[in-house]
Amino acid sequence: MTKPKYLTGDNAAINEFIDQFDVFLLDCDGVIWSGDHVFEGVPETLELLRSRGKKVVFVTNNSTKSRQEYLKKFTGLGIPSDVEEIFGSAYSSAIYISRILQLPPTQKKVFVIGEAGIENELRSENVPFIGGTDPAFRRDITPEDCQGIADGSLLDPEVGCVLAGLDFHINYLKLSHALQYLRRGAVFLATNVDSTFPMNHNFFPGAGSISAPLIYMTGGQQPVALGKPSQAMMDAVEGKFQLDRARTCMVGDRLNTDIKFGIEGRLGGTLAVLTGVSKVADWEAEDAVAVPAFYVDKLSDLGAVARE
Amino acid sequence: MTKPKYLTGDNAAINEFIDQFDVFLLDCDGVIWSGDHVFEGVPETLELLRSRGKKVVFVTNNSTKSRQEYLKKFTGLGIPSDVEEIFGSAYSSAIYISRILQLPPTQKKVFVIGEAGIENELRSENVPFIGGTDPAFRRDITPEDCQGIADGSLLDPEVGCVLAGLDFHINYLKLSHALQYLRRGAVFLATNVDSTFPMNHNFFPGAGSISAPLIYMTGGQQPVALGKPSQAMMDAVEGKFQLDRARTCMVGDRLNTDIKFGIEGRLGGTLAVLTGVSKVADWEAEDAVAVPAFYVDKLSDLGAVARE
């Protein structure tokens, strides 16, 4: 196993590194920011990459925000960006459904468990859906619901797909509907299967905690996951940006999502940053899930070459 | 593998079968009733067993009802019974916590995900708890919750155990609390891990769908399950009734819970009924999860010997 190259403080190596690539795919939380705190020097580093003619694409598993909502966050945090540079798992799911998944004409509807980000991206791709943030599904289950779900009278016969993403309003009613649709043969998708979600410098239930009960209830039916490290997301990124994988580098803080995503996608390179979840010891471990090609202490270390 | 003995219609065999045992452990749903419909002849069959001096114990994984609430159901359905004959997974959990689990004196509290049945049984064993049906936990998560859960100010330092059972009011707030308690080292228990729950002649999310996300979020931490087929439940049943396992028979409709429970508990016998989930083909399959020693079409077939 090759040891990753440490770039921090080595301007010659940083220049060589940057020159190797045309496209940088960047994870957000743990790389660009932590929650609502942008890491110092990151906006300048992104500008440096752009000024050298590099394309930057923000690739995030967070499905609760649409690209438009992400753009607002970038702008609010003082990071110039464009909606076309943003690629989230909600968008990834929407284009997978609209362009790759061939649902029968009579079963085009998606039953959504998740937040508005998913709904907005499905709308942008003209995918019909039910569930999501609809107040009709944000409530306790009633005996009438149980009867109607059990006998099918409350189920929509046009639903051909269940899409499970992080839902701060998960409940028994939604899980019961999803179970029945899956038992009736609906395609099972997950925006992503992250076990946890970073908030307030701690860990909360991630999108995978929404699909986990569905997997268990159906006796092990596995969803197609549309977030990192799933290569379905890489295919979608490649399809949209027409990138040359050999000239593309994935930048992230997590070995099991970001770095794995880049390696399995046979990208030209992977860069780990130490401002998030994974640490040096993680890739030096015997059973490391993935080893990056390069690493820096923090993303802004790349910016040192602009200050020479 | 021995073929199970078919008893229906063979009165000599039925008499011999009954004489072999002093105690009959009976599953409820699929054996005694389906939902709110009692199978014909079952009350008479239970009376027959009692008249022959047999002890009957109803052993159910359903944690949403306490023994008292179960007694009401039995009475309402015209089945004479006594609270001491009822053994549910909520009660099993309560006695496991109070009598077997040695929680440190400063961490005696249980964080409950589940319905009133669990609370009532914990109260009967004087186990302190929070969560459960408390309206403070039956609502959407707020930014203040996220902050307080993340920094620990909203967590109860006396919680030393998380007990996960079927909860028709499952939500993100409860899952977030449970995750933090588990990360802080709380003991992880589940009333049972049934994948589905029978209602209205169909399948709904079972108690296992509550623990599944917690297992996934914690990176694979497994709960001690207190329902069938867990032998923790058998130990609790044995402790309470002082039964002779060799003279005890488990009666049920599911191979993977009831019959497995009896076999792994080294009971003298297991009897499958065909009024519920499992069918003859299930135990005749190459990879059968468990094979009963005896089977009948329906529980009341045993009653034929009283009508001779």
Whether residue A16 sits in one domain with residue A96: no
Helix (H) or strand (E) holding A248: strand A248-252
Whether residue B40 sits in one domain with residue B22: yes
Whether residue A134 sits in one domain with residue A253: no
CA A243 → CA A60, A64, A84, B58, distances in Å?
A: 18, 26, 14, 64
pLDDT per residue as tens digits for the range A193-205: 999 998 888 999 9
pLDDT of residue A1: 59
* B292 found inside a domain: yes
Overall domain count for chain B: 2
Whether residue A221 sits in one domain with residue A95: yes
Whether residue B107 sits in one domain with residue B213: yes
Interface check for B139 against chain A (CB to CB < 8 A): the answer is no
* A83 found inside a domain: no
Domain boundary among A209, A225, A241: A225
Strands (E), chain B: 5-6, 23-26, 33-34, 37-38, 55-60, 86-88, 109-113, 129-131, 159-164, 187-190, 196-199, 202-205, 224-225, 248-252, 269-273, 294-296
Q: Give the separation between CA B223 and CA B214, rounded to whole angstroms.
A: 9
Q: Give the separation between CA A76 and CA A143, rounded to whole angstroms.
A: 46
Catalytic residue among A10, A19, A29, A156: A29
- Cβ contact (<8 Å) for A170 and B168? no
pLDDT of residue B100: 87
Whether residue A220 sits in one domain with residue A119: yes
Q: Is the peptide bond before A104 cis (omega within 30 degrees of 0)?
A: no
Catalytic annotation, residues of B: 27, 29
Percentage, residues of chain B above pLDDT 70: 99
Whether residue A249 sits in one domain with residue A209: no
Q: What is the CATH number of the domain that holds A265?
A: 3.40.50.1000
Looking at A77-142, list the stretches that DSSP marks H as alpha helix, in order from N- to C-terminal side.
89-95, 116-124
In sequence order, what are the residues at sequence separation of 6 or more whose Cβ sits closer than 8 angstroms to the Cβ of residue B6?
B294, B295, B296
Q: Which of B138, B184, B202, B218 to mutate to test the interface with A (most CBs of A within 10 A)?
A: B202
Report ipTM (2 d.p.).
0.92
Interface check for B149 against chain A (CB to CB < 8 A): the answer is yes
Residues A83 and A67: beta-carbon distance below 8 Å: yes
* Selection from A82, A86, A23, A13 nearest residue A54 by Cα: A23
* A47 found inside a domain: yes
What does pLDDT average to over chain B? 95
pLDDT per residue as tens digits for the range B140-161: 999 999 999 999 999 999 999 9
Q: What is the pLDDT averaged over residues B69-96?
A: 94
Whether residue A245 sits in one domain with residue A199: no
* B85 found inside a domain: no
Q: What share of chain B is helix, strand, coil (3-state, %, to 5)?
A: 40, 20, 40
Domain that holds residue A264: 5-61+229-272+292-307
* Selection from B224, B216, B287, B214 nearest residue A222 by Cα: B216
Whether residue B235 sits in one domain with residue B203: no
* A72 found inside a domain: no
Percentage, residues of chain B above pLDDT 90: 91
In the predicted model, residues of chain A with pLDDT beneath 50 are none
Q: DSSP secondary-structure letter at A250?
A: E
Whether residue B208 sits in one domain with residue B258: no
Question: Is the per-residue pLDDT at B35 higher than 90?
Answer: no
Residue A82 is a catalytic residue:
no
* B73 found inside a domain: no
pLDDT band at B198 (very low <50, low <70, confident <90, very high): confident
* A78 found inside a domain: no
Tokens of A244: 């040359």
Alpha carbon A291 to chain centroid, angstroms: 20
pLDDT per residue as tens digits for the range B159-187: 999 999 999 999 999 999 999 999 999 99
Which string of DSSP letters, residue by residue, matches A10-60?
Answer: -HHHHHHHHHT-SEEEE--BTTTEETTEEPTTHHHHHHHHHHTT-EEEEEE
Whether residue A220 sits in one domain with residue A94: yes
Helix (H) or strand (E) holding A281: helix A280-284
* B81 found inside a domain: no
Whether residue A169 sits in one domain with residue A130: yes
pLDDT of residue A36: 84
pLDDT of residue A308: 64
AA letter at A35: G
Domain boundary among A194, A225, A256: A225
Question: Is the per-residue pLDDT at B16 higher than 70?
Answer: yes
Domain boundary among B225, B258, B273: B225
